[in-house]
Structure 1
Amino acid sequence: MLNQQTIKKLAADAGFDLCGVAPCRPLAENEQWLRDWLAKGYHSSLDYMERNADKRFDPARLVENARTAVVCAVGYKNRAGEGYPAGHRTKVASYACAADYHTTIKQMLGEMLERLRVLHPGLAGRAFVDTAPLGEKQLAVEAGLGWIGRQSLLVTPQLGSYVLLGELLLCDEADAYDTPFSGSRCGRCRNCIESCPTGAIVSPHVVDTGRCIACHTIEKKPAAGIDLDGWIFGCDRCQSCCPHNQKAPIHRNEAFAPLFDPLAMDPAAWQALDEEGFRILCGATPLTRSGLKRIQSNIADE
């Protein structure tokens, strides 16, 4: 049997700021919500959201015999996350200014799993960092880390929504589980809904990705274009306006420190980059997912 407190210590040692432990169970109500959202076409060009809907909210279908979900979070807030000055036309989502979190968090989870297997030889399980069909935000709620805000992101009391998540699905029971987070602390605030430049948050917790700037600048382009509002990769507008994020601390783990300053870059600086310059500036960051030509195209679309 896994020890809850040992798991949390290993998470802290690996560099995570928060860790919760939840039993693996089917989350039928969330699966139905997803199917309703898909039926309305709000996934637009995100075709992958249609696949494996049955697995997304039932961890045991993703990892056979999974019993325990360990949900870890790390804060990544940096200066860009506090917002850009008016008129800045080359805005980058703050998470994308640091090294690609997929690689960093996968290494952190791998360290945890390796140390758990020393204590529990033969322990079966897998690590996930948002590339598999796993409802990680709802799992985080189940593990007591926070609530789902009106902008559909996980919001934590300690770090706001500027958190990145990683999970271990383990095939053994824990000796204790965290209490699921109850309720919401958004109160009457609607900043995220009212601040979205394109009205992509069509109602509380419901995002139309066809209107979402982050999707238009990163994912497969939807059929209809939108005003990107100066964003060239991602969008933080529904986060920088959130009171919980305005009081959140700057990242503690230096692995999530920015590798470049987007506030120091203007359209001319981005357009002047060649592939080698882009590799030097952004080669370790998530911006490589779009690539230089797509980013320069996003600037040209402004």
Structure 2
Amino acid sequence: MLDFLNIKKLAAEAGFDLCGVAPCRHLADGEARFRAWLARGGQSSLGYMERNTEKRFDPRLLVEGARTAVVCAVSYKNAAGEGYPARHRTKVASYACTTDYHTTIRTMLLQLFDALRTAHPGLSGRAFVDTAPLAEKQLAAEAGLGWIGRQSLLVTPQFGTYVLLGELILTDEADAYDTPFGENRCGSCRRCVEACPTGAVAPDRTIDTARCISCRTIEKVPESDADLDGWIFGCDACQSCCPWNLRAPLHRNAAFDPVFDPLSMDAATWLGMDEAAFEALCGRTPLTRSGLTRIRENIRRNSVPGGPSER
């Protein structure tokens, strides 16, 4: 049987800021809400969201014999997450200014997994970092880390929404589990709803991906007149305004230090890069997902006559 307190200790040693432990079960309420969102077409062009719905909300279908979910979170808040000057037209989501979190968090999870297997040689399971159909935000709430905010993100009392998640789904039971975070602490605040430039934050705590700037700059090529509000990769508009983020500390894990400063870079800087310069600056970051050509196109969309106004 896994030692609950030892899991928390080993997660901290691996570099995580938060760790919660939950029994593996079917998250039926989350699945019902997700299916309703799909039925409304909230996924728009993100067809992959329509696959493996059953697995997404039941980790026992992803790992045979799964008993315990260890949900880890690490803060990544940096200066870009506190917002950009009003007239900045080449905004980058703050998470994308660091080394790709998939690689960093997987390394941290495997360190934790190896430490657990040292104490429990027969332990088996899998590590997940946003690369499989797993409802990690709902699982994090189940593990007591926070609640699902009005902007559909996990909100943690300590670090707001500026956290990245990773999970271990394990085959042993733990000697104790965290209490699910049942309280919603958004209250009557609607700052994220009001801050979204395109009205993508829906009333039921979901996102209309057809409107979402993050999707428009990364996942799909938008219409020529689509509002990007100065963003060229991702969007933090619904996060930088959140009271829980305004009071959150900057990240403390050096692995999430930014590798470039988007606040110091304008359109001329980005457009003046060739592929070699882009690779040298951004090759370890999530920006490689869209690539320099797409970033240039997003810059063009932000500067066309009659396009989004400079705020």
Tell me whether the two structures share a fold, i.e. TM-score over 0.5. yes
Match of 2:199 in 1: 199
Q: Is the 8 A contact 2:225 2:301 kept in 1?
A: no
Cα distance in 2 for partners of 1:220, 1:126 equals: 30
Cα distance in 2 for partners of 1:210, 1:259 equals: 30
Cα distance in 2 for partners of 1:225, 1:51 equals: 31
Cα distance in 2 for partners of 1:76, 1:161 equals: 10
Q: CA deviation at 1:206?
A: 1.7
Q: CA deviation at 1:203?
A: 1.2
Q: Which amino acid aligns with 1:83?
A: G
Match of 2:215 in 1: 215
Q: Is the 8 A contact 1:100 1:286 kept in 2?
A: yes
Match of 2:58 in 1: 58
Deviation string, structure 1 residues 17-69 (Cα, Å, up to 9, x no partner): 00000000001111111111111111011111000000000000011111000
Match of 1:143 in 2: 143
Match of 1:44 in 2: 44
Cα distance in 2 for partners of 1:223, 1:43 equals: 17
Match of 1:183 in 2: 183
Q: CA deviation at 1:226?
A: 1.9
**CA RMSD in angstroms, aligned pairs only:** 0.9
Q: Is the 8 A contact 1:198 1:226 kept in 2?
A: no
Q: Which amino acid aligns with 1:181?
A: F
Match of 2:159 in 1: 159
Q: Which amino acid aligns with 2:266?
A: D
Q: Is the 8 A contact 1:24 1:60 kept in 2?
A: yes
Confirm or deny that 1:279 pairs with 2:303. Answer: no
Match of 1:300 in 2: 300
Match of 1:97 in 2: 97
Q: CA deviation at 1:224?
A: 7.9
Match of 1:107 in 2: 107
Match of 1:27 in 2: 27
Q: CA deviation at 1:122?
A: 2.0
Q: CA deviation at 1:182?
A: 1.5
Matches within 5 A, 1:121-136: 121-136=121-136
Q: Is the 8 A contact 1:106 1:129 kept in 2?
A: yes
Deviation string, structure 1 residues 75-106 (Cα, Å, up to 9, x no partner): 00000000000110000000000000000000
Match of 1:247 in 2: 247
Deviation string, structure 1 residues 209-267 (Cα, Å, up to 9, x no partner): 00000001111335685200000000000000000000100001000000000000000
Cα distance in 2 for partners of 1:62, 1:26 equals: 12
Displacement over 2 Å in runs of 4+: 220-225
Deviation string, structure 1 residues 165-189 (Cα, Å, up to 9, x no partner): 0000000100000000021111110
Cα distance in 2 for partners of 1:5, 1:265 equals: 45
Cα distance in 2 for partners of 1:224, 1:23 equals: 47
Q: Which amino acid aligns with 2:236?
A: D
Cα distance in 1 for partners of 2:267, 2:222 equals: 24
Q: Is the 8 A contact 1:193 1:204 kept in 2?
A: no
Match of 1:88 in 2: 88
Q: CA deviation at 1:204?
A: 3.6
Deviation string, structure 1 residues 244-296 (Cα, Å, up to 9, x no partner): 00010000100000000000000010000000000111111000000000001
Cα distance in 2 for partners of 1:31, 1:154 equals: 16
Give SS of 2:84's match: coil
Q: Is the 8 A contact 2:278 2:292 kept in 1?
A: yes
Q: Is the 8 A contact 2:99 2:284 kept in 1?
A: yes
Q: Which amino acid aligns with 1:173?
A: E
Q: Is the 8 A contact 1:67 1:173 kept in 2?
A: yes
> 1:224 and 1:127, CA in 2 relative to 1: closer, same or farther beyond 3 A?
farther
Cα distance in 1 for partners of 2:141, 2:222 equals: 31
Cα distance in 2 for partners of 1:35, 1:225 equals: 31
Q: CA deviation at 1:202?
A: 2.2
